[in-house]
A = this chain, B = another copy of it.
Amino acid sequence: MISFENDYNTGAHPQILARLAETNLEPLTGYGADHFCESAKNKIREACGCPDAEVEFLVGGTQTNAAVISTMLKDYEGVIAADTGHVNVHEAGAIEYTGHKVLALPQKEGKLSAADLSSYIAGFYADETYEHMVFPGMVYISHPTEYGTLYTKAELEALAEVCRSRSIPLFLDGARLGYGLMSRHTDVTLQDIARLCDVFYIGGTKVGALCGEAVVFTKQNRPPHFINSIKKRGALLAKGRLLGIQFDTLFTDNLYFEISRHAINMAEGLKKVLEGRQIEFYLKSPTNQQFVILENERISELKKDVMFSFWEKYDENHTVIRFVTSWATAEEDLAALDRALEEYSS
C-alpha cells in the first residue's frame, strides 16, 4: 500500500536512526543538559542567523503551542489565531486547557491578514467594555498553514509590524517549516522568520524526526524558568538526548533543508500526476499538502490501494481529500498513484 496520508506516517530519516545507534551507550545527563542538545542549539542559532536566540526542544506540536502560548500570555490575555488555525480546531482545546481563550479571526486559505488583525485590535480598544473582554496578547500563525499555503515576506512583515505596534509577540507555528522554506514559491527565509517573529518553532515530527520541535525565542524573551514550566506541563523529556541528537543531525550538512526539498519535489510531481489525471483541485498549494475534490465512489475505490486523508465534505457526491508528500515519498509512490488513478478513472 502506498501512502500519501500525511507527513508523519513513517519513522525517521535513516541518518537520524544511525546517529541514535552510534551514540546509544554514551552516558549523558538528562533533561536536555547534554552536549548534543547544546550542539543542536548552536547549529539552529546559526541557521537562523540569530546568535543570541534561545532554543528549547519539546516533543510535539500541540504541546509546544500550549507551552509557548500559556507561558508568554499574561493572565488577562488570549491568543489571536485564524479560525482554521491548528490551535483553534485540532488540538482538543489545549490552549483553553491552560486557561486562555483563542481569539479566532477570519482567514483566507488559512492565512491571517495584517489588515484584519489591525482592525480587530483597534476595535477591541475602541470598545468601552474592553476590560471585561479577553485582551489580544499574542498572534499565532502557522507557516505553512493548515492548507499548505505560505505567507509572503511582505505579509509577514505587515503582521510583525502590527504586533510590534501593539507590543504583542508574533508566534509562528512551523510544524512543517522545512516544506515552507523549500517551496519553489516563497521569498521567506529562515532568517526572515527569526527576524520577524518573536518566537517560532521548527517542526521535527513532520520533517523527518521520530518526534521533536525546536522552539526559538529570538528576542531574549524566553519565559523565566522555562524548563520548570515545561516540566509542570508534563512536556520535559527525561532523555533529552533523543531530541538533541535528532536536531543535531537535521541541522548538520543541511539535512533538514535537503529532505524538505525532496518532499517539495515530490509534491510538484504529485501535482503533475493529479493534473494529468484531470483531478479537480480544491487548493493547489506551494508546499507538500495538496487538496483535491473527488467523487465519493472514486474515493471508495482509490482507498483500496492508496492511503490519503479525508478533509471535508464538498457536496453530496464529492469530498475534499488531501495528499501529502514527505522526505520519505519516493518516485515509485508517484508512479503507483498515477496507475491507481488511471484504474479508477474510467
Contact = CB atoms under 8 A, between A and B. Distances in A.
A10 B24 contact: yes
B229 A76 contact: yes
Nearest to A25: B10
B96 A231 contact: no
Interface in A22-38: 23-30
A59 B228 contact: no
Given A231-B131, A237-B59, A30 B8 contact: yes
A29 B191 CA distance: 34
A89 interface: yes
Report how many copies the assembly holds: 4
Contact of A76 (B24, B134, B224): B224
Interface in A236-256: 236-239, 241-242
Contact of A75 (B11, B232, B312, B328): B232
A64 B236 CA distance: 12
A6 interface: yes
8 contacts: A10-B24, A61-B238, A76-B228, A91-B132, A94-B232, A96-B134, A128-B310, A210-B210
Interface stretch (A97-105, A165-173, A272-280): A97-105
A30 B129 CA distance: 12
A145 interface: no
Q: Is the interface of A mostly helix, strand, loop or mixed?
A: loop
A335 interface: no
A67 interface: yes
B62 A234 contact: yes
Interface of A: 1-3, 5-6, 8-12, 14, 17, 20-21, 23-30, 59-67, 70-71, 74-76, 78, 89-94, 96-102, 104, 126-129, 131-135, 205-206, 210-211, 223-225, 227-229, 231-239, 241-242, 307, 309-310, 312-313, 328
A24 B17 contact: yes
Contacts of A238: 8, 60-61, 205-206, 211
A163 to B, nearest CB: 19
Nearest to A62: B234
A11 B99 contact: no
A45 to B, nearest CB: 22
A1 B27 contact: yes
B135 A228 contact: yes
Nearest to A27: B3
Q: Which 7 A-B pairs have the closest CB atoms?
A: A63-B234, A3-B27, A11-B24, A92-B231, A76-B228, A92-B232, A93-B134
A24 to B, nearest CB: 4
Contacts of A97: 99, 232-233
Contacts of A90: 129, 132-133
A132 B62 CA distance: 11
A78 B63 contact: no
A17 B21 contact: yes
Nearest to A33: B131
A56 to B, nearest CB: 13
Nearest to A205: B238
Nearest to A74: B224
